[in-house]
Structure 1
Amino acid sequence: MASAVCARRPWTRILAAALVAMSLGGCQWPRDADGTLDRVRAGTIRVGVAHNPPWTIVDGSSAGQTPGGVETVLVQRLADSLGARVQWVPGGEAELMEALSERGLDLVVAGLDAESPWEQEVALTTDYLTVDMVVAVPAGAPADVAGQRVLVRTGTAEAALLSDHDATAVPVATLPPRPDGAAVVPDWLVDESGLTDAGTHLSSADHVLAVPPGENAWQSTVERFLLALEPDEVRRLLLDTHRAGS
């Protein structure tokens, strides 16, 4: 699966890599409209974080507690590479995006994907991981999902998409750790769930971070960090977060 994902990375990743190479080569472009990169290097990165497990986990009952989740780990690594500290700003996605657009924040993490409705107000980075939602079945079960009852989380787009494959959606609030029948799960969770990918892929999401508009040198730096990530490493972080009970 990892090789297939790498093979279909969009052309925007190639463009992002080229822009990063130009900045590393000593070019004065891209530049920040508001000097974000110069300010955060060896300084403080103001990071908005909205609750969206396993990508971001905000415990509202613990004031001042460092949030958890995969993207908070990645942000801390980015900060370490710049000699910076992180100031976490928890909140709802809408309020955080408004603050980002007004440059009150330097970065927002919320399990965003490239189809985010906020792309007109803020700048979205290149994607760092593509996740497919797939139908997975127990070993030995028929791979053809037509006519099967399939567990799927309530309120997700995949519940409606199952009808396109002549399968019957069985909405549940939480999927069991080891489903005894067909279930819709993210591709990184198939093996952990004791299932096998049936070959029916319902949707795909390219995960991104968000930065203020016009801060091009800062965005280039964040994207250089993201482009260096190994997809398998991010999947391991997702599994670790899942196993910890996100």
Structure 2
Amino acid sequence: MGKESISASIALNEGTSIAKVVLMPGDPLRAKRIAEKYLENPVCFNNVRNMLGYTGTYNGREVSVMGHGMGIPSIGIYSTELYEQFDVDAIIRIGSTGSLQPNVKLGDVVVAMGSSSNSSYGDIYGLPGTFAPVASYELLKACMDAAEKLDVHPHVGQVYSSDQFYYPKANADLPQRLTDLGMLAVEMESAGLYWTAQGCHKKALAMFTVSDSLLTHEAMTAEERQNSFDTMMRLGLETAWTVAGE
């Protein structure tokens, strides 16, 4: 919906609006490509700091797509502003991830039911102990219904959101420890999104395409990433379409 922007990072371009459901990849240029490829009549609503955002329609229902940058603090800023200042109801993170399990192969789709993290971002909520961030059940159910419709078979479970992309040698055994705990994959933002959504009383879901493996050290080529991304995108868009109609 359109409203006067008082945010630090999002300023609506004249005559534009943000949909109730927003898909968020990390890379703003990927947001642009998604809008141009999948949305009907996309219009750019934000270009502050080149964090591009677009609103269009998908099968007749309004959907937005916007980049969120890298890391939990970045997605925390953008998701908070979307939820609280632009009245967005649901955010679906779409991105790449590194596999932590032998059965989670390159090109597979992972859906994060919960997200563990080494980030202290959740401490701000002041709960004694640990604030365990999880997905919105409504979005997770819509995603599973869409997966059945599309004949897609995602891995669903817990992922690990890391504040670090590069680890020192002292932590070289971390991937194996995460594997032993049953974590499906590692990425850098979903826990922050889930914490923010719960704090704002809104909905969130994160889904990923496996682009590399921390076990086998296999990795997709740029072309393979682009081709495999389509399955996750169709799943994300069908989920967004369902939620947008509620």
The question of a shared fold, defined as TM-score above 0.5 by the shorter chain, is answered with: no
TM-score norm. by structure 2 comes to: 0.27
Higher Cα Rg: structure 1 or 2?
1
TM-score norm. by structure 1 comes to: 0.27
